[in-house]
Homo-oligomer: A and B are copies of this chain.
């Protein structure tokens, strides 16, 4: 398994010149004679010479590498984010190292360690749900490694971040139902200890208030899984005065609602309209198709990476931490109109 990697030395030896000359010839240094350049470049090509990025990293104390810490790659949203990160990083000549925390604190700490050890030039982090202690994050800052948070933010930590305006998106979604004439809109809410749970609920309530509609506690049910949504929908339908619209905290619960409604003979959207919050690609394949908020994962990844590159590429750029808030817009489909 002896490695066959060609080095500058190999080229130098073959051509009977020095390594430094080869190095210069390869970067088209003006001092080098055309003849030498030609010989070097031809041989390099012939031997499939590829500069050793590891040596370059060590030499320049810059690895041209970005580290990413993400909770779970298998979520459609997060994999879209990664796609956005990869594309932008790639265009800027950076390599991306992705680590999954699997929503675990200990794993996240290990990830940080690995990335720092690899001397990544910057990191993009979506903090795990389990993380409530931040020494490992401070370690990144201590080393002056630029960092951008995305999607999940820790208020105590001052660093660039890009998030979605969940509250506004929920407001829009609810308003869309109101504009469609709905007066009793239920909400399947997320957990109260998660910011998305809170933000989406606040947006919902605000839209009701702004339209002079009452916020009815019985119509707000904590339900963030498919099964819970089915139960919650049945509960709503069993009420004396059922809702005429449902705004669900995510698509999965919206789909649970739709199926239950249909099973009980309710017409969507005629009798009850349904709006979800996109976390998959289910919305296009339900029947009717599901009106939902598009979270723009790809854009989030690309924006976050650009924010990071801005600091990486201009070492004297030292503006204070920026907050970039993405608009998440409503995609209106069949379930609500």
Contacts and interface: CB of A to CB of B under 8 A. Distances in A.
Given A117-B51, A284-B226, A311 B97 contact: no
A252 B284 CA distance: 10
A88 B110 CA distance: 15
A242 B83 CA distance: 43
Interface residues of A, number: 62
A35 interface: no
Nearest to A314: B1
B142 A48 contact: yes
Interface string A163-182: 00000000000000000000
A61 interface: yes
A337 interface: no
Nearest to A80: B74
Contacts of A145: 3
Interface stretch (A52-60, A149-157, A199-207): A52-60
Contact of A117 (B52, B76, B252, B284): B52
Contact of A97 (B50, B76, B95): B95
Interface string A243-266: 000000000100110010011000
Given A3-B143, A98-B98, 14 more contacts: A1-B144, A1-B146, A1-B315, A53-B118, A54-B63, A73-B83, A73-B86, A74-B79, A74-B83, A95-B114, A96-B99, A252-B285, A256-B285, A280-B281
30 contacts: A1-B146, A1-B316, A2-B144, A3-B61, A3-B143, A3-B145, A4-B144, A5-B143, A50-B116, A51-B117, A52-B58, A52-B117, A53-B118, A54-B54, A54-B58, A54-B118, A73-B86, A74-B83, A76-B76, A79-B79, A82-B98, A83-B100, A86-B99, A86-B100, A90-B110, A96-B97, A96-B98, A97-B97, A256-B285, A259-B285
